Structure 1
Amino acid sequence: MSRRKKKDKGEEHIDESWLLPYADLLTLLLALFIVLYSSSSIDAQKFQEISRAFNSAFTGGTGIFEFPSPMPEGQMQTSDVDKKDEVNKENEEKEKEFKHQADQQELATIQNKVNTYIEKNRLSDKLETSLTVEGLLVSIRDNVLFSPGSADVRPNDLKIANEIAELLVMEPPRNIIISGHTDNVPIGNAPFESNWELSVMRAINFMKIVLKNDKLDPRWFSAKGFGEYQPVASNDSSQGRAKNRRVEILILPRIGS
């Protein structure tokens, strides 16, 4: 009888080498489902983060996670440009608002200076200021500067006109509009055919005196006449007509509102 050969111990042990590729396959499938789930939210940033994470984990693989984004390259670039434009627009709006607030604060400082002058000279019944969206408005009653029906500043009032001119000295300078206004009572003086002409000449003559101040640049000044067409009170009473007869100085903001 032939003797049976003794089997090696290795032949009795079951070969388990197939487990390694099987485990790798399961891992890859799990990773694939995670990527598919994540990409369904169309979140480009998350997809890129996941891609980088798996590329680091599977450095020896075929690079199936090396796609930068589920979105086309051109669309991604457009999205980035839109976001950049939006950020730039927000920054511009913030900068504009900051400059506007600083400008309003500067106008408020000028207003305080004018109000101090008014209080010191007891002119509160003849001059007044108001800060509006158009700028700082200084209103001067016509009886402070002019005789009834006249466009010439009275010699006795030249001192007030010169002091107001000194208040308009600013660095850097601002655009200033001087305007004349009247009530609705028809004018009977020969030199002027209408209140409109009277208002224009009052604004011009007052501006001429203001610009005698060497610290002021005429390029920043302009004059207008509105006649009776921009009243601030009713012309039905003498008090209202007195308020409407005025010269206004509008100090404009540097930044648009």
Structure 2
Amino acid sequence: MARKKSDSGDKDIGDVIFGDLMSQMLTFFILLYIFASQNTAKESTNLFMEIRNGFTKTLKKEVKPVPTETVKPKEKEIESKLRAIIYDKNLEKYIDIIVEENKIRLIFAQPVLFDSASATLKKDFEKFLDPIAIMLKEIPYEIVVEGHTDNVPIKSAKFHSNWVLSFFRAYSVLNYFVQKYELNPKKISAIGYGEYRPRFSNTSAENKSMNRRIEINILTNSIIK
């Protein structure tokens, strides 16, 4: 009987050991599966990043910015020449220069070119326009002459609105450039804005005087041959 008890006890111990071994092997395979899944995810992520980076590098190589300096000089260069002309002729009190992207604005106060409610150039206007005209003839860019007024309604039989007055003032300047200096008519135009594009609010006499003006705009992104 003792012999049989000993055999039964050994069998029970063997079953326990076998069960523990199977549990450990199962745990081992589960861990292997988890690690493999994590590595696969990492590899997929890495692969995705490599593809994305490679595509980005390709785009960077193929997409090239359009060179703008090859089609026009810098606005600063033209500005410097204009300022030199204005200072040489002592006109800095009468002409403002504003440089914007692709545009240089020459701003003439109305009294230096025109009398009130008139679109006829004054007798001494040449000293303001002639130095600028010489420079404008040398450059190949489009030129737009703009006329502007304040918001005080005009009382004139010749001009029924500020809009009309501002246009004819701009046209007078254009016509002078074309007739005397033979500026290419293809590259110069005139437009009148009346009171609708003021530099300052029309809340004071000083602001109104600065809104009454002629602007000569040089469009450096537009070449006219």
1:40 Cα deviation after fit: 5.7
- AA in 1 matched with 2:200: A
Question: Which residue in 2 is equivalent to 1:107?
Answer: 75
Partner SS for 1:218: coil
Verify the 8 A CA contact 1:174 1:251 in the aligned structure 2: yes
Structure 1 residues 30-109: aligned runs within 5 Å: 43=47, 84=58, 86-89=60-63, 91-92=64-65, 95-96=66-67, 99=68, 103=72, 106-109=74-77
Verify the 8 A CA contact 1:162 1:209 in the aligned structure 2: no
Alignment of 1:165 with 2:140, yes or no, is no
What percentage of residue pairs aligned between the two structures are identical?
A: 30
1:239 Cα deviation after fit: 1.1
Q: 2:164 aligns with which of 197, 206, 228?
A: 197
**Structure 1, gaps ≥5 residues long:** 1-36, 47-75
Partner SS for 1:219: coil
Partner SS for 1:125: coil
Alignment of 1:133 with 2:107, yes or no, is no
Question: Which residue in 2 is equivalent to 1:151?
Answer: 119
Q: Distance in 1 between matches of 2:187 and 2:108?
A: 20
Q: Distance in 2 between matches of 1:123 and 1:160?
A: 7
Q: 1:82 to 1:157 in 2, by over 3 A?
A: same
Verify the 8 A CA contact 2:112 2:125 in the aligned structure 1: yes
Verify the 8 A CA contact 2:91 2:128 in the aligned structure 1: no
Partner SS for 2:152: coil
Q: Distance in 2 between matches of 1:42 and 1:112?
A: 55
- AA in 1 matched with 2:192: G
- AA in 2 matched with 1:146: F
Q: Distance in 2 between matches of 1:240 and 1:128?
A: 15
1:230 Cα deviation after fit: 0.8
1:119 Cα deviation after fit: 1.7
Q: Distance in 1 between matches of 2:96 and 2:165?
A: 22
Q: Distance in 2 between matches of 1:128 and 1:217?
A: 24
Q: Relative to total residues, which structure has the larger strand share, 1 or 2?
A: 2
Q: TM-score, normalised by structure 1?
A: 0.61
Alignment of 1:222 with 2:222, yes or no, is no
Q: TM-score, normalised by structure 2?
A: 0.69
Q: Distance in 2 between matches of 1:208 and 1:222?
A: 10
1:159 Cα deviation after fit: 3.8
Partner SS for 2:124: helix
1:123 Cα deviation after fit: 1.9
Q: Distance in 1 between matches of 2:101 and 2:94?
A: 23
Verify the 8 A CA contact 2:102 2:221 in the aligned structure 1: no
Q: Which has the higher contact order (CA 8 A, sep 6+)?
A: 2
